[in-house]
Amino acid sequence: MTDKQEYVQLTLDALQQAEIRLTDKERQRIEIATFGLPDYPLSGLQLLTYVNSPRYCAKELVLFPRQTCPEHLHPPFDGTPGKQETFRCRWGEVYLFVDDSSLTQNDASGEPVCRVPEGSEAWYSCTGYVRLRPGEQYTIAPNTRHWFQAGDQGAVVSEFSSESRDELDIFTDPRVNRLA
């Protein structure tokens, strides 16, 4: 089995754990997003896009244990304010870091709840976070910097949003190539 096949299988296993059923065609459309970074799967994301139209988008996001999606934002485009997205945790837990000073900064011990991938610290500025467990959700406003990391078991997150234009996303890490 190639690495890609192995990661697709791990993604399918996580979706099954979350009791999300897929058609055969959907199983074939699992995307492995490495972001062009050399440390995949530490940084990265696995996803399935159900629909993406000018009106709305629906996806399943799968994160392996402690896997991190790099900091980015969804800027305005074509007269829109940019992508607004709601993350709803289906399985595991995910820490969503958002450029919002009203959010929690550390856990009760004062220790950080997540660690930025080593060597990438300069490109992560959001420190306020919300922890999402199954059934919990959070909506990110358009054009807002954010990043997220799975907990120790990994996570499955359903994303509901306005139109997704991945090629327009702005990442704080200049090494990122979203379409890689």
Q: Which CATH class is domain 3-165?
A: mainly beta
What's the pLDDT score for residue 112? 75
Decide: pTM greater than 0.85. Answer: yes
Mean pLDDT of 82-87: 97
Between 54 and 178, the higher pLDDT residue: 54
pLDDT tens digits, residue range 106-120?
Answer: 666 667 789 999 999
Using CA atoms, how far apart are residues 175 and 158, in angstroms rounded to an integer? 27
At 85, the pLDDT band (50, 70, 90 cuts) reads very high
Percent of the chain with pLDDT over 90: 88
In this structure, how many other beta carbons lie within 10 angstroms of the beta carbon of residue 160? 15
Structure confidence at residue 103 (pLDDT): 80
pLDDT at 1 over 60: no
The pair of structure tokens assigned to 28 is: 């074939």
Check residue 101 and give its pLDDT: 76
